[in-house]
Structure 1
Amino acid sequence: MSPNLIAILPEIVLTLTAVLVMLADASLAPGKPRRLLGWVAILGAFAAGSFSLWQLRLVDASGPITAYSGTVQVDAFSVFFHLLIAAIVMVTLLGSLDYFAPPAAMAEHSETARLAYTHVGEYFALVLFGATGMMFMTCSVELLMVFIGLEISSISTYILAGFRKGQGVSAEAALKYFLLGSFATSFFLYGIALAFGATGSTSIAAIAAGMSTTHTPVLALLSVAMILIGIGFKVSAAPFHVWTPDVYQGAPAPVVGLMSTAPKAAAFAVLLRVLFNAVPTLRATWLPLILALSVASMFIGNLGALMQRDVKRLLAYSSIAHAGYLLAAFTSTHPEAVASACFYTAAYAAMNVGAFLVITELSGVDETMRTIDDFTGAAKSRPYLSGLLAFFLCSLIGIPFTAGFFGKFYVFSAAVHGGFTWLAVLGLLNSGIACFYYLRLMTALYSRPLHGEVRGAMARVTPSAALGLAFAGLATLALGIFPGPVLSLVQRAAPKTIPIISSAPSSSATASLTNGQ
């Protein structure tokens, strides 16, 4: 098989599956069940992940795969993010397979549910198209290719954010996301243009070689700043976070679970390549910007969450804070920083997708449970779902034996070994602040109902949703107890992807990452 086809095989599988779902959806009569299309989409995501594992074996045997004139590179780094994105898509689709009202119960549901059901095939296809763009972002080593992947991903998520067509808040979320997202993307594109002006190329390797000899250093610095603004929007880093609470509040709960994890994972992968591969010589310039973004995101996210009563807005501010935690790993120049950032991305994906899937099951398509008060006493009628939500919240706090604990341990260790102990202290302080709003929601779950009854959808959890929740829960638990396999993969990726631009790494930190302690 051609190296060009091998390099983008997961993306080809996702694209063909999405096209198949769209064609099948158009051929079905209105009112016919579309559940089978969801299983086709899940199978496509599983196949994409399987082909990514096959690519990893090829990479281990013969080294990174370069294709399309050096614009695409498949290595352990890109394969890790491919696997992560495929897993997030699978869990999201499993959790939202029965999210829409079945035809037999159409009359019992709101206009929002009926409108959503009529476009359920499009939902499955859009999720796959979005995942295709995200995977392109993680394996591209040419900034224009990154931009193309970013646009494919963004257009899909813009539409998904407004998928509940019967509600004004959903249309508002999609419009805000589209307008602000397009504005931020223009910064990213302008940064690419400035990088070309400074170095004569948009290839990451060529940019790295040209930065040290450029005759226009001001353009080089401006390009880094513009690219940081564009990616800062995608990862919800303060002060580029203003869209996040409104979009999370208006978008469907399973879509929020997807857009709060998979696009961010792809954006952080791009940021790692740009900062550590393309412009390592400008570290003295971009490091203060990363420090500012990290501190601002942690404090604005956690302090903003303290004032929220709407649960989705609370988790939106929480995601801003977690972006700040992850950025702390960028302060170290050693491969351990890459391993820390990658591990935290996987840990956050598992616990955040799980939390939003629980909210999906508790609230239903009409999202009858919005505020913390609406969740009061939920454990009385839905003990298993409430217990699972409490477990995910504990992981978001960083309680031991959960993925969140090791995630924070590694990123804060990277900050300490990078010489920024004060940043790790601020991170721990913010983790303490976060306990207040996470525990407030957990307390509501196990409190006595306010009016003697519990609001929200009382339907049984379907087998597909239970499978998705089990996968998220087990992943969160496994990463908190046995982090070694994931760390082994990202540590193999780091030396091949991120050059060591300082002295030898700290032996204690490397040992702690290797042993998973």
Structure 2
Amino acid sequence: MEIVIPPFDLKSIAPIVIISIAAILILIADVFCRKVFKDSLGYISFLVVAVTGVIAYAQTGQNVYSFSDMFVVDNFSVFFNLVFLFSTSIVILMSDNYIKQEGVNYGEYYTLLLFATVGMMLMAGASDLLTVFLGLEIMSISLYVLAGFTRDKVRSNEASLKYFLLGAFVTGFLLYGIALLYGATGTTNLKEIAAYISENSGFSNPMIIAGASLLIVGFGFKIACVPFHKWSPDVYEGSPTPVTAFMSVGPKAAAFAIFLRVFFVALPDLEQKWSIILWVLAVLTMTVGNLVAISQTNIKRMLAYSSIAHAGYALVAIIVGGDYGIAGLLFYMLAYTFMNLGAFAVIIVLGRKGEENANIEDFSGLGQKHPLLAVVMSIFMFSLAGIPPLIGFMGKFYIFSAAIKSGFLILAIIGVINSVISVYYYLRVTVVIYMKNPEREFTPLSLSPFIIFAILVTVFGTIFFGIFPSKIIAFAQKSAVLF
């Protein structure tokens, strides 16, 4: 019997190959190289990610299926790859001084970040449920370890264990969903699943409906939507702050990318059914996230519930669908990356060794002691609240206007009301910064050039793309057309 090896195209996965090789080499270098070289591993990782970003951008305009149609390169995957690589590069810059200060300056930290990025890129380009699972697990396993990277802290170990146990449990739901869809359609390829459902009236098949429902559970856990959100605040609070920042943007964007890909490519005939479920989840996620965030005193927990609320806004874009809805989600993911990473960068700068879990009250008097940082933090809070002319306002405006155009007026109104509620807890941070006297002594800031650069980039993106969003929106619309 002759074994036929299917053709494969290495060019299509060039960014993934480069990141993977770099991650392995960094791990080896950490073991065998001198300390001087070890201290440069972060800079090397940043350069690798930057070069990979250029290569990924060069794939714009392609529509190539490879590896027996299990992986696709298109504008949609390119857009998300750029978001992933940008978020990883900023987190690397934020991490350099932090992991040295906390005594966890190990090469495997950057290796895990890079492998998590590999998993996210696989998810964005997945055109088969097996590739979805492969990318999801590569990303998740890396994040489980990163959450507990400060091994001497009980909170970090607890965060890692909670995330691992709940993540492993939810993976079972996802696998059962994949198994049911395969059992009903005889394939795991997204386009072939869609063709089978269309040709055989599969939208009434209970196995297919059950499989789609279990996929919603699996993806809902990764985006931390209600009621699958309970892990998020504890994991965000206990994880090292740069890891929390990373988890809040990259993996969340990856989960939304595969959510879109699977449900709009494989299950469009079931849209009337799953859109009703997502409508309820979106309303619950926005409302619960914002209301619970009001009562938080720890800024990382507050941003965790804020992240849950933003997942609800993003779900609105999936419900809306079409070019406007999908393009709105793409733009919103980039907008959230800028403003959320920037906020976490300021938290890292102000944190003292072993006290990265700062309370909101710890920002009291920041406007007096460090006025520039106070202005920067206020910009990020205003943007997260959706105040014009910042990028957060444009992201919400694009999604809610798409919802109104598509006839989802009630959903848009609920979203706007929730956005107004969020203003309270975001502006509370600004009030504490400027209108309260310091409750603690601010230690001298250890500002490295890299975290300064990270803050400058995120501030620039938050302001500039809020005022001039047209190019990003045009790229997002081109990426959405493929659906």
Q: Between the two proteins, what is the percent identity of the paired residues?
A: 40
Match 2:50 to one of 30, 46, 61? 46
The count of residues paired between Structure 1 and Structure 2 equals 475
CA contact (8 A) 2:119 2:139 kept: yes
Match 1:178 to one of 156, 159, 164? 164
Match 1:493 to one of 453, 464, 479? 479
CA contact (8 A) 2:348 2:356 kept: no
Q: TM-score by structure 1 length?
A: 0.89
Deviations 1:109-159 (A, max 9, x none): xxxx23x23xx2111111001000000000110011010000000001111
CA contact (8 A) 1:360 1:367 kept: no
Which residue number corresponds to residue 89 of structure 1?
88
CA distance in structure 2 between the partners assigned to 1:165 and 1:243 by the alignment: 19
Which residue number corresponds to residue 514 of structure 1?
none
How much has 1:364 moved relative to structure 2?
Answer: 3.9
Match 2:150 to one of 149, 158, 164? 164
User: Structure 1 residues 368 and 5, CA, compared in 2 at 3 Å: closer, same or farther?
Assistant: closer
SS at structure 2 position matched to 1:73? strand
CA contact (8 A) 1:13 1:47 kept: no
Name structure 1 gaps, 5 residues minimum: 103-112, 499-517
Q: CA RMSD in A?
A: 1.5
Which residue number corresponds to residue 4 of structure 1?
9
CA distance in structure 1 between the partners assigned to 2:352 and 2:123 by the alignment: 33
Structure 2 residue 452 is matched with structure 1 residue 466:
yes
How much has 1:313 moved relative to structure 2?
Answer: 0.3
Which residue number corresponds to residue 441 of structure 2?
454
Structure 2 residue 428 is matched with structure 1 residue 440:
yes
User: Which deviates the most, 13-22 or 324-333?
Assistant: 324-333
Which residue number corresponds to residue 308 of structure 1?
296
Structure 2 residue 372 is matched with structure 1 residue 384:
yes
Structure 2 residue 138 is matched with structure 1 residue 138:
no
Residue pairs, 1:21-60, within 5 angstroms: 21-28=26-33, 34-56=38-60, 60=61
How much has 1:306 moved relative to structure 2?
Answer: 0.8
User: Which deviates the most, 170-179 or 34-43?
Assistant: 34-43
Letter in 1 for 2:266: A
CA contact (8 A) 2:363 2:433 kept: yes
Letter in 1 for 2:27: M
Residue pairs, 1:292-307, within 5 angstroms: 292-307=280-295
How much has 1:365 moved relative to structure 2?
Answer: 4.3
Which residue number corresponds to residue 79 of structure 2?
80
CA distance in structure 1 between the partners assigned to 2:353 and 2:33 by the alignment: 23
Residue pairs, 1:91-130, within 5 angstroms: 91-101=90-100, 113-114=102-103, 116-117=104-105, 120-130=106-116
How much has 1:33 moved relative to structure 2?
Answer: 6.5
User: Which deviates the most, 15-24 or 33-42?
Assistant: 33-42
Q: TM-score by structure 2 length?
A: 0.95
CA contact (8 A) 2:81 2:121 kept: yes
User: Which deviates the most, 318-327 or 215-224?
Assistant: 215-224
Match 2:400 to one of 405, 412, 419? 412
CA contact (8 A) 1:198 1:211 kept: no
CA contact (8 A) 1:328 1:414 kept: no
CA distance in structure 1 between the partners assigned to 2:130 and 2:394 by the alignment: 35
Structure 2 residue 310 is matched with structure 1 residue 322:
yes
How much has 1:3 moved relative to structure 2?
Answer: 6.2
How much has 1:369 moved relative to structure 2?
Answer: 5.8
CA contact (8 A) 1:10 1:47 kept: no
CA distance in structure 2 between the partners assigned to 1:368 and 1:64 by the alignment: 44
Letter in 1 for 2:92: L
Which structure 1 residue ranges, 4+ long, deviate > 4 Å from structure 2?
A: none
CA contact (8 A) 1:94 1:468 kept: yes
CA contact (8 A) 2:283 2:411 kept: yes
CA contact (8 A) 1:42 1:93 kept: yes
CA distance in structure 2 between the partners assigned to 1:67 and 1:27 by the alignment: 37
CA distance in structure 2 between the partners assigned to 1:81 and 1:368 by the alignment: 29
Which residue number corresponds to residue 290 of structure 1?
278
How much has 1:331 moved relative to structure 2?
Answer: 2.1
